[in-house]
Amino acid sequence: MNPEVASIRAYFYKLFPCKVYTKEVPEKFTVPSMYFPPPFALNSNDTLSTFLKTYSLPVKLFHEDSQQANNEAERIADVVNSKKGLIPLVDKTGAVTGEYVRISRIENRIADSGVAIIQVTWDSRYFYEKEEYTPLQNIGVDSGVK
């Protein structure tokens, strides 16, 4: 799993402790709860040594009614915005690493009866693979004076 998604999930859970679904939401699901699907990504060039992936994660928040779901979604979005969009990264054990993921955009909306969506967007940079090569060794230069 993407460590950024795991960190966002842990952060949202800390703000709204409830049942979290990561695979599929069962037919009889717990209310309140959140569903974290896999994010989708758009790839683009970034620098000469990196490429950029813009991730978008539509988190579904389920509650008793649409208003309560939207209120919780808005509260979560407000907390993220009040922290300048910085969410602490966590490792596999859940410990904070000291690094952050910066959320570039977060929005919420009512999706269905008792369902709100928190749309989270962020950018990640990855290094290109470098080609292996043998470095030059012992170069001799013959030159003469004319």
Residue 45 lies in a domain: yes
Which pLDDT does position 94 carry in this prediction? 85
Whether 100 is in a domain gets the answer yes
Residue-wise pLDDT tens digits, 24-57: 888 889 899 999 999 999 999 888 889 999 999 9
**Which CATH number characterizes residue 55's domain?**
3.30.2000.10
Summarize pLDDT for 51-100 with one digit per residue, the tens.
999 999 999 999 999 999 999 999 999 999 999 999 999 998 889 999 99
Looking at the domain assignment, is residue 135 inside a domain? no
In a domain, 142, yes or no: no
Average pLDDT of span 101-120: 95
Please check whether residue 146 lies inside any domain of the structure.
Answer: no
CB 61 within 8 A of CB 45: no
Counting the structural domains of the chain, the total is 1
User: pLDDT at position 57, please?
Assistant: 96
Residue 138, judged by CB atoms within 10 A of its CB (0-12, 13-18, 19+), counts as exposed
Residue 35 lies in a domain: yes
> Structural domain of residue 34, as residue ranges?
3-127
CA pair distance 106, 120, nearest whole angstrom: 5
